[in-house]
Amino acid sequence: MVRTLKWLSVLASSIMVFILLGGALVTKTESGDGCGKSWPLCHGELIPSEITPELLIELSHRLVSGIGGIVILALAYLAWKHLRHIREVKFLSILSVVFLVLQGLIGAAAVVWGQSDFVLALHFGISLISFASVFLLMLLIFEVDKKLDTSSLIIRKKHRIEIYLLSIYTLITVYTGALVRHTEANLVCRDWPFCFNNAPLNIASFSFEQFVQMGHRLTAGILLVWTISLFLRLIKSYRDNQFMYWGSITMIILIVLQVIFGALIIFTLLNLGIALLHALVISCYFALLCYFILLASRSMSLEKNK
C-alpha cells in the first residue's frame, strides 16, 4: 500500500502544479469568461457548440481541477486510513481537501456572480496552500520507509519563529502579486526596479495600478532580503544537517529565480512563459517553507518530550 500511496501522492502533487499554472494561465490570458457565466458547464452546454481559445483554456482548467479533486480525495482517504499513526497525516489530509474545495468554490463564484479584484486575488493564495498541503503529504508518505528521516533534527526556537513569520509574509507577498494580475497592473511601470528609473521617488504621480505594482515590488524586495538573511543563519547553524543545508540552498535559489522572473516579466512585456514560471517558482518556494514549518513543528514537539 505504501508504494501505491507514493505513486498517488506524486500524481496528486503533479496535478496540483497544473492546477496552479492553469489558474495563472486563465488569469493572464483573461479567459475567466471563456465559458460565460455558467459553471461547471460551458455556456450551459455539456459539449460547447462554439469553441474559442478562451473557452479551451477555461474548460481545460476546470477538467484538470476536477480530476485533481478526485485524486486528492483518494490520496487523503488512503493516507488517513493507512498512515494515521503519523502525527501530521490527519491534519494535512483535511487541509488538502478543505482548501481544494475552497478554491473551487471561489473559482465558481467568480464565474457565476463575479468578484472584486481583491477577492479574486485570494484565489491563488488558497491554491498555494492546497498545493503545499498535498506536497507535504507526499513527503510524509516517502518518509515511511525512513529514507527521509528527520526525527532527530532540532531547530532552535528563534529560527522556528522566523520560519513561521516568513511563511506568513510570503502569503502576503503572493497576495500582492495576484492583485497585480487581477487589477491589470502588470505593465503600468515601464522600468525596473523602480516604476520610472529616471524619477524613482515621484510617488505623488502614481495611479492606483502603479501603487499596486510598486507595492508588490516592495514586498517582494523585502522577501528577498529576509530570505537571504535567514539563509545565511540557517547555513551557519545547521551545516551538518542535510535537510536544512540543502533545503536552505534550494530556498535561496528559488527566491533569486523568483526575482529574476519578476523583472523579466517587465522586460519581455508580459511574456506568458515567463509569467507562468514566475507563478511556479513562488509555489515551490512556499511549499519548501511549509516543509520547514513541518520540521520546526516536530522539533518543538521533540524539545517538549525531552
Determine the Cα–Cα distance for residues 208 and 221; give it in Å rounded to an integer. Answer: 20
DSSP, collapsed to helix, strand or coil, labels residue 152 as: coil
Residue type, 18: F
Which of 93, 90, 84, 88 is CA-nearest to residue 9?
Answer: 93
Within 10 A of 210 (CB to CB), how many other CB atoms are there? Answer: 16
Which of 65, 59, 73, 70 is CA-nearest to residue 17?
Answer: 65
Annotated catalytic, 58? Answer: yes
Contact status, residue 17 vs residue 134, Cβ threshold 8 Å: no
Contact status, residue 182 vs residue 123, Cβ threshold 8 Å: no
Q: Label residue 113 exposed, middle or buried (CB < 10 Å: 0-12, 13-18, 19+).
A: exposed
Within 10 A of 130 (CB to CB), how many other CB atoms are there? Answer: 25
Dihedrals phi, psi of 39, to nearest 5 degrees: -150, 135
Dihedrals phi, psi of 42, to nearest 5 degrees: -105, 120
Out of 50, 54, 58, 184, the active site residue is 58
291's CB contacts (< 8 A; 6+ apart) are: 135, 136, 139, 247
Indicate which residues carry an active-site annotation: 58
